[in-house]
Amino acid sequence: MRTQVAIIGSGPAGLLLGQLLQLAGIDTVIIERKSRDYVLARIRAGVLEQGTVALLDKVGASARLHAEGLVHDGFELLFGGRRHRVALDRLTGGQHVTVYGQTEMTRDLMDLRASQGGKTVFEADDVALHDFDGGKPYVTYAEGGVTRRLDCDFIAGCDGYHGVSRASVPERALRLFERVYPFGWLGILADVPPVSDELIYAGEERGFALCSMRSMTRSRYYVQCGLDEKVEDWSDERFWDELRRRLDPASAEALVTGPSIEKSIAPLRSFVAEPMRFGRLFLAGDAAHIVPPTGAKGLNLAAGDVHYLSEALIEHYVERSQAGIDAYSGKALARVWKAERFSWWLTSLMHHFPDKSGFEQRMQRAELDYLVSSEHAMAALAENYVGLAY
């Protein structure tokens, strides 16, 4: 089998890249090691920047998003028992974010690809990338116990942090940057109405909490927890009690509780692999970088990578130019590091760090007090939250 671009990974990054290339008449095959049902069962974030929505509009995968997604013109910071609204629309000249689950975005892109006859191989075992430093790259994988070979012009690694793409690059060719945070997020999904119409980011002495939602009848809540804690030690009752303690009195009183339908603990880390191109192999999304979920940049960063990569590949095929391909890694990384800075800053601002000195705790509170008292500081927060321009 042969294609122009082999895409490794059927998450939102790989699917979106496939649709952008298909619009330009570029043939792709997506190779996914898990089943379709497994991919669609993954619970992920759901705050989309306008740039991400615009890409979904471009490929024709946004009808359900516009019908069901929740447009948010602001969010709230909670500390010292008080909430402070960040008015995104006013501070950024009318920009906003849209709450729409990553699972739903993935489903929309999968359905669109299938309706257009796009080729996707699910449950591909033993995926291996070959000769991407040469002129004739190819991918091998096992399908139903039979080894297959996919020849291609380029390989796009969109298969996440634990995928085969980055692992295929020789260690000497990579430079890795990482910060592991001394806590995680315990999150639950529940079919209860959200406590507020907008997201609440709470940074209190007991630790961080986030009140989010997937719809007006399904809520997603998180509390900061230790890395040594286990999900089975957190009953629903214990979770709801702890969340209330981290909210202001009005929010705690308004909180509607119910049985969780999903519960998990995610460690927090910042991670970047440089560069993002190795000959004819490109990394995009979590294969190249991870951000803490504070600030909702992970999925949106992947969309930014895909924007740059699709433009580079289209330029190569349509204009016979190498310029976009040569510039891809530098362009993408410039935006990645700005998002890493924002996610690190917001994480540091809103979380309780167990080893912080009294001085550092006072500095954290002073930073919060300054932030909500300064229009310019709030505008900088809002500008980063809605997403920097591509």
- What ranges do the domains of the chain cover? 5-72+97-178+269-347, 182-267+352-386
Instruction: Write down the pLDDT at residue 44.
Output: 72
User: Which pLDDT score is estimated for 362?
Assistant: 94
- pTM for this predicted structure: 0.94
List, for residues 225-259, the tens digit of each pLDDT value: 999 999 999 999 999 999 999 999 999 999 999 99
Average pLDDT of the segment spanning 157-169: 97
Res 19: pLDDT = 98
User: Is pLDDT at 274 greater than 80 in this prediction?
Assistant: yes
* CB-based burial, 264-301: b 16+ in 10 Å, e otherwise: ebeebebbbbbbbbbebbbbbbbbbbbbbbbbbbbbbb
pLDDT of residue 45: 72
Q: What is the pLDDT of residues 325-381, one digit of tens each?
A: 999 999 999 999 999 999 999 999 999 998 999 999 999 999 999 999 999 999 999
Residue 58 confidence (pLDDT)? 98
In angstroms, the CA 330 to CA 314 distance is 18
Residue 218 CA: distances (Å) to CA of 257, 356, 367: 11, 35, 33
For residue 389, count CB atoms less than 10 angstroms from its CB and return exposed for 0-12, middle for 13-18, buried for 19 or more. exposed
Banded model confidence at residue 72, pLDDT cuts 50, 70, 90: very high
Which pLDDT does position 113 carry in this prediction?
97
**Which positions are annotated as active-site residues?**
72, 201, 293, 297, 385
Mean pLDDT of the region 26-49? 90
pLDDT at 112 over 80: yes
Instruction: Return all residues near 262 (Cβ < 8 A) that are at least 6 apart.
Output: 43, 187, 188, 189
Percentage of the chain with pLDDT > 70? Answer: 100
Q: What is the percentage of the chain residues whose pLDDT exceeds 90?
A: 95
Position 10 pLDDT exceeds 80 = yes
Say whether pLDDT at 43 is over 80.
Answer: no
Summarize the confidence of residues 76-100 as an average pLDDT.
97
Question: What kind of architecture, by CATH, is found in domain 5-72+97-178+269-347?
Answer: 3-Layer(bba) Sandwich (3.50)
Whether the per-residue pLDDT at 263 is higher than 90: the answer is: yes
CATH number attached to the domain at 182-267+352-386: 3.30.9.10
Is the per-residue pLDDT at 78 higher than 80? yes
Least confident range from 28-37, 42-51, 151-160, 315-324: namely 42-51
**What is the predicted pLDDT for the residue at 46?**
86
What is the average pLDDT value for the chain, to the nearest integer? 96
In the prediction, which pLDDT does 315 show?
97
Q: How many CA atoms lie within 13 A of 332 on its CB side?
A: 33
Q: What is the mean pLDDT of residues 134-151?
A: 95
Cβ atoms of residues 1 and 30 within 8 Å: no
